[in-house]
Amino acid sequence: MLKKIYLYLNILHKKIKSKKNYYSFSGVDIAINDIFRNNNNGFYLDVGCQHPVNNNNTFLLHKKGWEGVNIDLDQDNIDLFNFSRPNDTNICAAISSSIKDTDLFFYHKKSPINTIDNKVSNFHKAKISEIKKIKTNTLNNILRLSKFENQKFDLMSVDVEGHELEVFLGFDFDKYSPSIIVVEFLDLSLSKIEIKNQNINNIINSKLFKFLTSKNYTLVNFIYADLIFVNNNFKK
């Protein structure tokens, strides 16, 4: 009972604290919601979901009836999703291109920068409280074992602190074919201040951009570090 009360208060606090009309870090969910303004029962795949309300790219869609898969490497975050989105499929896992043993650079519970990418760990320059040994999984493997095994996704959101390309390498684009992809892009050669004002050249020269365009996606916008790609076969 105490755990349920804690979970409820945690989510309620985030809703009250947010007086803005968006919930994602950058406001990218406003753009996403506009693209899908006529779709009230779509499906999302959120990798690196972190919190069900605060800084979340799918909460606006969830509010209007969408459902989907939420994946995060912190069990405390997944507990929040299980409480607030019980009809979703909520999974604690570290996603990569293959199943392997690796290090988790852990800052603290519910930290948005817990990561399995040591380059990003150095970039944030935050104090690591613990390095945990974990086993990664792939999106293909996780989805194969879920009720969404044959589901075409309307939205795919990926924010895994520098490990985004590895996530995509373990994902079957032909099978799941997301209409819109929102992905965080961190150019680690820049400072945090510069990332807020990164130019298009940094993006189009990245491996991430080249990979997604090779998968039949077009970059249509970027807000702060969030890139919005549209499937070239998508009809709004």
Q: 69: which residues sit within 8 A by CB, 6+ positions away?
A: 44, 45, 46, 88, 89, 90, 91, 142, 143, 146, 148
Does residue 186 register a pLDDT over 50? Answer: yes
Does residue 86 register a pLDDT over 50? Answer: yes
The beta-strand segments (E) located in the chain are: 43-47, 67-72, 89-92, 94-95, 101-106, 130-137, 155-158, 180-184, 217-223, 226-231
* Least confident segment among 39-48, 149-158, 188-197, 221-230: 188-197
For the chain, which domains are there?
Answer: 2-231 (3.40.50.150)
Buried residues in 188-219 as b, exposed as e (16+ CB within 10 A): eeeeeeebeebeeeebeebebbeebeebebeb
Residue 190 near residue 218 (C-beta atoms within 8 A):
no
> What Cα–Cα distance (Å) separates residue 210 from each residue in 24, 185, 214, 215, 222?
25, 13, 6, 9, 15
CA distance 127 to 121: 9
Does residue 7 register a pLDDT over 60? Answer: no
Which tokens sit at 231?
């499937």
Residue 37: its H or E element:
none
Pairing outcome for strands 101-106 and 130-137: antiparallel
Q: What percent of the chain has pLDDT over 90?
A: 61
The pLDDT of residue 134 is 82
CA distance 215 to 176: 12
Report the Cα–Cα distance between both ends of the chain, in Å, rounded: 44
pLDDT digits (tens, 9 = 90+) for 29-55: 999 999 999 999 999 999 999 999 999
